[in-house]
Amino acid sequence: MPPPSSETILVERPRLLDRRRLRRLLVLLLVLGAVLVLLAPLTATDQADSLGAPQLVDRSQIRILTTVAMFVVMASAWNLVGGLTGYSSFGNVAFFGLGAYTCAVAVDAHRLHLPMAAAIALAPLVPAAFAALVGLPLLRLRGHYFAIATLGTAVAVGEVVKNVDYLGGATGLFPPILHRADLLFLYLMVGAALLAVLVSRLILRSRFGYGLIAIRENEEAAGVIGVNTTMYKVGAFAVAAALTGLAGGLFALWNSFINQELGFSLDFNIQMILMAVLGGAGTLFGPVLGAIVLELLIQNLAGRSDVAVYAQIGLGLLLAVTVIFVPRGIVAFFGGGSRLSVAHLRRSLRETGV
């Protein structure tokens, strides 16, 4: 029996045709699905109403879609550090919170009072600068130490924010409510998700991406072949922070309210990691799939009072089973990278002559 394939997204593949066809199909389905999903909300506008068009989605569904897109951004961004570089950050929510507060402060009439576009442009910058700053010491730690230190940083930043009056203190900040802006934020958030995937893809297919993977596989060896490990790690951390901060900024404007609990939510913190791992850490589409699957499950099950308890247990079980049997995630399951996968089963059947 050949060893299970252990290739990451950017490595050459012996079964080139098989995987490539599968990927094309996957991309096509994703694009088609995305287009449908993105056009449907247009039927929920006043114009569509006046034309008498059937309303395909309601406001709550638009909200769910926006949330899914938001998590696609966060899971993809986490993947750059946790999946690609092998540094499991448990503090990425700090970037989300910093982005959210940056936007909230920027648009606030009593504070910076900038136009919304400027606020959104600022949202990735502040978290990226913060990541570069704290990344230098933090990224010298590895494994559990890195995980704990990043978690501690996120909690600490949240506590600081909560105690600064300029940032609204414990009350939080209230960006102006934009009426009928559901669709605007859906499209903005989906745009951010596309940007996150595009950036991930560019990185995966670049010298930078190979360097990050080399760091994950063996940091000392990466160094002596010439990878500037410090710069690469901090760079990946800052890019992840920028994307996560963008999601946070959009969230603050969309939600018209941000406080420490929302901005530095430990639920969000864990969810983005679970999504990336469930979908397939280190792959391009893994975190996207993980975010879609998990967020839809959470929204549809955990939000309902009658099944909420069972849903929580079910989600926990699902994750345990995934991590044990398909540690490389959903993408690997379908791509042949796991012993339980469809492709692996087919291969073993062929080999045993059945």
Partner 1 sequence: MTALLSIQGVTKRFGGVAALNEVSFDVGEGEILGVIGPNGAGKTTLLNCVSGVYRPDAGSITFDGHSIAGEPPHRIARLGVGRTFQVVKPFASMTARENAAVGALFGASQLALSRAFAAADEVLEMVGMAGKASLPVASLTIPDRKRLEVARALATRPRLLLLDEVMAGLNPVEVDEALEMVRTVHRSGVTIVLIEHVMRVVVGVCRRVVVLHFGQTLAEGTPDGVLRDARVIEAYLGEKYARRLVGG
Would you tell me which residues interact with partner 1 (CB under 8 A)? 2-3, 5-8, 11-12, 14, 205-207, 210-211, 213-214, 217-218, 220-221, 223-230
Tokens describing residue 319: 């994750």
User: Which residues lie across from 258 on neighbouring strands?
Assistant: 173
Instruction: Compute the least distance from the CB of residue 168 to partner 1, in Å.
Output: 43
* Greatest Cα pair distance in the chain: 74
Closer residue to partner 1, CB minimum distance, 171 or 206: 206
Instruction: Compute the least distance from the CB of residue 227 to partner 1, in Å.
Output: 6
Closer residue to partner 1, CB minimum distance, 9 or 272: 9
CA pair distance 38, 48, nearest whole angstrom? 15
Q: DSSP string of 276-318?
A: HHHH-TTSSSHHHHHHHHHHHHIIIIITSTTTHHHHHHHHHHH
CA pair distance 281, 268, nearest whole angstrom? 17
Give the three-class secondary structure for 118: helix
User: Which residues lie across from 334 on neighbouring strands?
Assistant: none
- Single-letter code of the amino acid located at 308: A
CA pair distance 315, 49, nearest whole angstrom? 38
Rounded to the nearest 5°, which phi and psi values hold at 259?
Answer: -135, -175
DSSP run (H or E) holding 34: helix 16-39
Instruction: Compute the least distance from the CB of residue 233 to partner 1, in Å.
Output: 12
Residue pair 134/240 in contact by the 8 Å Cβ criterion: no
Closer residue to partner 1, CB minimum distance, 191 or 223: 223
Instruction: Compute the least distance from the CB of residue 2 to partner 1, in Å.
Output: 8
Instruction: Compute the least distance from the CB of residue 35 to partner 1, in Å.
Output: 31
Instruction: Compute the least distance from the CB of residue 13 to partner 1, in Å.
Output: 9
CA pair distance 204, 283, nearest whole angstrom? 9
Instruction: Compute the least distance from the CB of residue 222 to partner 1, in Å.
Output: 8
Closer residue to partner 1, CB minimum distance, 60 or 206: 206
Residue 116's Cβ-side half-sphere holds a number of Cα atoms within 13 Å equal to: 14
Instruction: Compute the least distance from the CB of residue 1 to partner 1, in Å.
Output: 11
Instruction: Compute the least distance from the CB of residue 22 to partner 1, in Å.
Output: 20
Closer residue to partner 1, CB minimum distance, 225 or 324: 225
Closer residue to partner 1, CB minimum distance, 162 or 216: 216
Closer residue to partner 1, CB minimum distance, 78 or 232: 232
Which residue shows structure tokens 């901090």? Answer: 234
CA pair distance 323, 306, nearest whole angstrom? 28
Nearest CA to 75 among 193, 199, 202, 236? Answer: 193
Nearest CA to 294 among 261, 264, 329? Answer: 329
Instruction: Compute the least distance from the CB of residue 59 to partner 1, in Å.
Output: 45
Closer residue to partner 1, CB minimum distance, 104 or 204: 204
Tokens describing residue 254: 């969309």
Closer residue to partner 1, CB minimum distance, 39 or 221: 221
Closer residue to partner 1, CB minimum distance, 14 or 54: 14
